[in-house]
Structure formats: structure tokens, C-alpha cells
């Protein structure tokens, strides 16, 4: 080997070692940076006619388990979706009160029933009448509070959906930009490892909004497909998703003749195709979960009012004096939003004696309540006929002896009549109220549990990802020591060659 060739080989080795040490230093410096993966830089031996000519550095690459990465992104989306459900449903749970303290719907129905029992023992007692009115106000107020909380949560879901639309648009534009840069750098033969890390971070953020799959192209680009087969447009600077602002009223719904706007993708409504992530969770809360909860609450309020009304006591109405008929279809009826409007009848508030005497006569019906005539002003002070009817039938499982209550609606719910409730097989007001509270507050607990599961899975997958692609600082420091040793060996080779050149020049002189 000539001295020129030996110098060239040693110099190429120094250049490779220099780049490898720079790579190791960069990994160590970014070990705590979110999304940074371990990089590697290998060299290839150069030969001409079988003779070694030195080494050449390859481009910097990374080693990422794409299956683990996809699972990690999905777990992140699940945690984000459950977190949104937990936050919005938490307000509904708080509005329901505490069942253990008896201040939730089921407990307050029982408290009203107890106040009627006390009044039946002394129908002329003004203090006991006032106690019934007070319990009625408390029950109506609780229904109002929960209805308001559901409305706030539903508006929050719509607002969250708008925020996610903006975030997804920004994320898609960022991925499109990185696609373009990566393709350009690859075509130029340069490393794209750091750019791929940056793109994976952007995709991970998108996965928090939507459940998506990543299809990797041969040119280094990626295609994103949301669950349901929606191919997400990747055009830098574009805003393919849109959602109009709206005030979400109790009777508002999306689709058909509804007034709620949908999520549009290039002018096509994809609201019902959205799944996973915060966007899917927000759409489901706005259009299904919360409207169903509102309908269940409206059914409870309507049944409470109607069952008392049917026995001769108009204790609860809306502001216009209406008592909804719960035997009618929910959609389009006076039941929609009634829980937010229910109040104690002003006539009873002004004259609590109506609790004993009744507010109106009832015409008997073989398939419903029996006949009832109100106690006249000259009637007995101990009149208990109405109170017996209220306690035996309004709060019971029968409208009259041998005639069952019609039950609580479980189908045809929601403003558009497309929703169903799991609260089936219930007959009494207290039973339905307790089941409603358990089901609606349990939704928040289920969301919290889902957050925990998804977070735990994410932590496990993160550990696996770090083991495969993360930076091990100790290993990188050890590698740098080896690189420095090799650098010293190459430097001594160059020094030796230099000395040989000097000796050669001296001999020629």
C-alpha cells in the first residue's frame, strides 16, 4: 500500500469516526426530547479491484418498531377520548348530587314521598304542607340543575369538536409539509431520520384527535386513513375539515331536519363516520350520549308530573302550566327539555291546601286511574283521599288497583327519536330516579376507568418503544469512548505516515 493510499484510508476513517461521535453526542443531548429516537451511522468499506480504499459513511438511520408505534398512537387516542368524556361528564355527575346523602334524584323523590306520608297523618297541618312544597321545590331544582349541566356539557362537546377540527387541519398541513421535505431530502441522498421523528410526533398528535392508520409510501411519504375508510387530505396550508359554530339547544340535533351543523370534509358531512380520539368522542357526546341523558331526565320529570296529575294533583308544570303526557312519543312532544323547565305549580305554592284537597277532578278510566272529586272548601279538614291516591299510586307501580303504570320510555328518545335508554323494566318513580342517577354518574366513572386503562397501556408501549428505539445514555457514552479510542488509533496512523513522509523527504535531500 502506498503512503498516499494509507493516508487516504486513515483520513476517511477519521471522517467517519468524527460523524459517528457527532451522532452519539446528538443522541445524548436529545435523550429527553419527546419523539427523539436513537440514530445509527454505519460505514461501508470502499474497494477498487479488490484493494481497500477506505470507508464511506452511510446516511443516518433509525430503527422504529412500526407496529408498537401504531399501537402507542391508538392508546394515546383512546386516552384522549376517555379524558374528554371524563371532563364533560364530570359536570353532569356533580349536578346529580350525592346518592349517599339522599340529595340525588332518587333520594329526593323518596324525600317528597316521605313528606306526603307525614302530611297524610295530619292533612290540615300547615307546617307539613309547607314541607311538601319545600321538597317539591328541591326536587324540581335538582332536575333543573342536572338538565342545565347536560346542556353545558353538550355545548362543551360541540365547542371541543370545533377545536379538534382546527387542530386536525393544522396537523394535516404539518404532515403534508414534512412529507414534501422528506421526499426531497431522500431524493438528494440525505438522511431524513430527524424529519421522520418530527413527522411521527405530528401523526401522534393527530391520533389524539382521530383514530387513524398510517400507510408508508416507497418515496418516504405517508398516507393517513381515519377509521371508517376516510382518507385524510394531505395538502400543506389547506383546511379540509370545517364545522360551523352553533348554540346547542335541548331540542337541537344533527342530521335530517336537525339544526346542528355537521363536521364537513371537503364539503361532505362525515360526522357519523368519526371514530376514536377526541373528535369521535365529542361527536358521540354531542349527538348521542348527552341527548339520551337529557331524554331520560325529561322522561323522569314528565312521569313525576303526570303521575301526580293523573291522580288529581297538579304539583309540577312548566312555566306555561303544561304537564307533558309521557305516553306520547318523546320526539317533538312537550317532554323535550321539560326537566329544565319543571317547577312547582304556582297555584299550589299560593295555596298549599290544594295538596290535601286536589287541584282538579279526575274522570275514571278502567285502563287508568279511578275517578276522583276534589275536596270542596266546606269539606272535611282531615280529607285524605287525594293523599292516599298519591302515595298508593303516584309513587307506586300501579295507576289504580290492578292497573299497572305504563312504564318509562326506553326507545324513540332524543330530539330526533333515534336514541334508546338502557333503563328498562322500572315502574316506580324512586326506582327510575335511582337507576337514572346510577347510569348517568356511572358514565363518568367508566370514562375515568378507560383513561386509566389507556394510560397504563400507553406506558407499557412507551417502555417497549424506548427499549427498541430510545436513547440509552450509558450505552452511548460507552460507544463514544470506543469511538475516541478508534479515533486515536487513526490519528497515530496518520502521524506515522507523516513521519514516514518526513523521512522520505530527508532522504531525497
Per-residue pLDDT, 279: 96
Largest CA distance in the chain: 144
Check residue 126 and give its pLDDT. 96
Nearest to 79 by CA among 477, 460, 504, 468: 460
Which residues of the chain, if any, have pLDDT below 70?
A: 1-32, 39, 41-58, 471-484, 486-491, 493-494, 497-505, 508-509
Residue 499: is it exposed, middle or buried by C-beta count within 10 angstroms (0-12/13-18/19+)? exposed
Q: Which three cell numbers stand for residue 344?
A: 312547582
Alpha carbon 165 to its chain's center: 14
Strands 230-231 and 222-226: antiparallel
Distance of alpha carbon 248 from alpha carbon 159, whole angstroms: 10
The grid coordinates listed for 32 are 429527553
Residue ranges covered by each domain of the chain: 3-63+471-508, 69-456
- Contacts (Cβ under 8 Å, ≥6 apart) of 127: none
> Is the distance from CB of 368 to CB of 403 less than 8 angstroms?
yes
Q: Quick one: pLDDT at residue 31?
A: 67
pLDDT in tens, 416-441: 999 999 999 999 999 999 999 999 99
| pLDDT score, position 36 | 74
Beta-carbon contacts of residue 503 (< 8 Å; ≥ 6 apart): none
Alpha-carbon distance of 344 to 326, in angstroms, equals 18
By C-alpha distance, which of 297, 324, 247 is closest to 413? 297
Spell out the residues 6+ positions from residue 329 whose beta carbon is closer than 8 angstroms to its own. 412, 417
The region that residue 149 occupies, defined by phi over 0 for left and psi between -120 and 50 for alpha, beta otherwise, is alpha
pLDDT of residue 191: 87
Strand ranges for 266-308 from DSSP E = 268-269
Q: How far apart are CA 99 and CA 107, in angstroms?
A: 7
Amino acid at each position: 500500500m502506498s503512503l498516499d493510499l494509507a493516508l487516504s484510508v486513515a483520513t476517511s476513517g477519521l471522517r467517519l469516526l468524527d460523524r459517528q461521535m457527532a451522532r452519539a453526542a446528538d443522541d445524548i443531548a436529545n435523550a429527553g426530547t419527546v419523539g427523539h429516537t436513537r440514530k445509527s451511522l454505519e460505514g461501508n468499506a470502499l474497494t477498487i479491484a479488490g484493494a481497500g480504499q477506505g470507508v464511506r459513511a452511510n446516511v443516518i438511520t433509525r430503527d422504529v418498531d412500526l407496529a408498537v408505534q401504531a399501537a402507542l398512537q391508538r392508546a394515546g387516542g383512546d386516552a384522549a377520548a376517555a379524558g374528554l368524556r371524563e371532563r364533560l361528564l364530570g359536570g353532569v355527575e356533580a349536578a346529580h348530587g350525592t346518592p349517599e346523602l339522599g340529595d340525588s334524584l332518587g333520594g329526593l323523590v323518596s324525600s317528597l314521598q316521605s313528606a306526603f306520608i307525614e302530611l297524610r297523618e295530619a292533612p290540615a297541618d300547615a307546617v307539613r304542607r309547607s314541607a311538601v312544597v319545600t321538597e317539591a321545590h328541591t326536587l324540581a331544582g335538582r332536575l333543573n340543575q342536572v338538565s342545565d349541566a347536560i346542556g353545558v356539557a353538550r355545548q362543551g362537546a360541540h365547542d371541543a369538536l370545533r377545536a379538534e377540527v382546527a387542530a386536525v387541519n393544522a396537523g394535516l398541513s404539518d404532515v403534508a409539509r414534512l412529507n414534501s421535505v422528506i421526499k426531497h431530502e431522500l431524493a438528494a441522498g440525505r438522511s431524513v431520520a430527524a424529519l421522520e421523528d418530527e413527522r411521527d410526533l405530528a401523526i401522534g398528535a393527530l391520533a389524539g384527535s382521530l383514530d387513524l392508520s398510517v400507510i408508508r409510501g416507497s418515496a418516504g411519504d405517508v398516507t393517513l386513513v381515519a377509521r371508517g375508510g376516510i382518507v385524510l387530505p394531505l395538502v400543506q396550508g389547506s383546511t379540509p375539515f370545517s364545522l360551523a359554530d352553533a348554540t346547542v339547544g335541548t331540542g337541537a340535533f344533527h342530521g335530517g331536519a336537525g339544526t346542528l351543523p355537521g363536521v364537513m370534509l371537503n364539503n361532505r358531512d362525515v360526522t357519523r363516520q368519526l371514530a376514536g380520539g377526541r373528535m369521535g368522542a365529542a361527536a358521540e357526546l354531542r349527538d348521542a350520549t348527552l341527548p339520551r341523558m337529557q331524554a331520560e331526565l325529561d322522561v323522569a320529570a314528565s312521569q313525576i308530573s303526570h303521575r301526580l296529575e293523573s291522580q288529581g294533583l297538579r304539583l309540577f308544570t312548566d312555566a306555561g302550566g303544561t304537564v307533558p303526557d309521557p305516553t306520547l312519543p318523546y320526539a317533538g312532544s312537550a317532554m323535550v327539555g321539560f326537566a329544565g323547565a319543571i317547577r312547582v305549580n304556582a297555584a299550589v305554592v299560593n295555596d298549599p291546601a290544594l295538596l290535601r284537597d286536589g287541584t282538579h277532578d279526575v274522570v275514571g278510566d278502567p285502563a287508568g286511574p279511578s275517578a276522583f272529586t276534589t275536596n270542596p272548601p266546606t269539606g272535611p279538614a282531615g280529607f285524605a283521599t287525594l293523599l292516599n291516591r298519591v302515595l298508593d299510586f303516584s309513587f307506586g307501580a300501579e295507576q289504580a288497583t290492578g292497573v299497572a303504570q305504563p312504564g318509562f320510555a326506553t326507545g324513540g328518545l332524543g330530539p330526533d327519536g333515534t336514541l334508546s335508554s338502557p333503563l328498562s323494566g322500572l315502574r316506580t318513580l324512586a326506582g327510575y330516579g335511582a337507576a337514572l342517577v346510577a347510569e348517568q354518574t356511572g358514565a363518568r366513572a367508566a370514562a375515568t376507568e378507560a383513561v386509566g386503562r389507556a394510560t397504563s397501556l400507553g406506558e407499557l408501549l412507551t417502555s417497549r418503544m424506548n427499549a427498541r428505539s430510545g436513547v440509552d445514555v450509558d450505552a452511548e457514552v460507552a460507544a463514544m469512548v470506543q469511538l475516541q479510542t478508534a479515533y486515536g488509533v487513526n490519528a497515530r496512523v496518520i502521524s506515522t505516515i507523516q513521519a514516514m513522509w518526513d523521512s522520505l523527504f530527508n532522504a531525497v535531500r
